Chain A
Amino acid sequence: SQQGEEDPQALSIQEGENATMNCSYKTSINNLQWYRQNSGRGLVHLILIRSNEREKHSGRLRVTLDTSKKSSSLLITASRAADTASYFCATVGSEKLVFGKGTKLTVNP
Chain B
Amino acid sequence: DAGVIQSPRHEVTEMGQEVTLRCKPISGHDYLFWYRQTMMRGLELLIYFNNNVPIDDSGMPEDRFSAKMPNASFSTLKIQPSEPRDSAVYFCASSLSGLAGSGELFFGEGSRLTVL
Mark A residues whose CB is within 8 Å of B. 30-31, 33, 35, 41-45, 48, 50, 88, 92-102
Is B91 touching A95 in the complex (CB atoms < 8 A)? no
CB-CB under 8 A for A97 and B33, given A42-B91, A102-B42:
yes
Nearest to A30 among chain B residues (CB) is B100
User: Please, how many angstroms separate the alpha-carbon atoms of A102 and B38 in the complex?
Assistant: 12
A45–B106 contact, CB under 8 A? yes
> What residues of chain B have their CB less than 8 Å away from a CB belonging to chain A?
4, 31, 33, 35, 42-43, 45, 48, 50, 55-56, 91, 93, 98-102, 104-110
Q: Beyond A95-B48, A97-B33, A101-B42, is A43–B98 a contact (Cβ under 8 Å)?
A: no
Q: Chain A: interface secondary structure?
A: strand
Do A31 and B102 touch (CB < 8 A)? yes
With a CB–CB cut-off of 8 A, which chain B residues contact A43?
43, 91, 93, 105, 107
Nearest CB of A to B57, in Å: 12
Q: Which of B33, B98, B100 has the most CB of A within 10 A?
A: B100
A95 in contact with B104 given A42-B91, A42-B109, A100-B42 (CB within 8 Å): no
Q: Which residues of B contact A45 (CB under 8 A)?
A: 104-106
Asked if A96 and B56 make an inter-chain contact with CB atoms under 8 angstroms apart, the answer reads yes
Q: A42 and B45: CB pair below 8 A?
A: no
The residue among A95, A96, A98, A102 with the most chain B CB atoms within 10 A of its own CB is A95
CB distance from A91 to the nearest CB of B (A): 10
Contact residues in A for B55 (Cβ distance below 8 Å): 95
List, in ascending order, chain B residues with CB within 8 A of A101's CB. Answer: 42
CB distance from A52 to the nearest CB of B (A): 12
Residues of A within 8 A of B107 (CB): 42-44
Contact partner of B45 (CB less than 8 A), chosen from A50, A98, A100, is A98
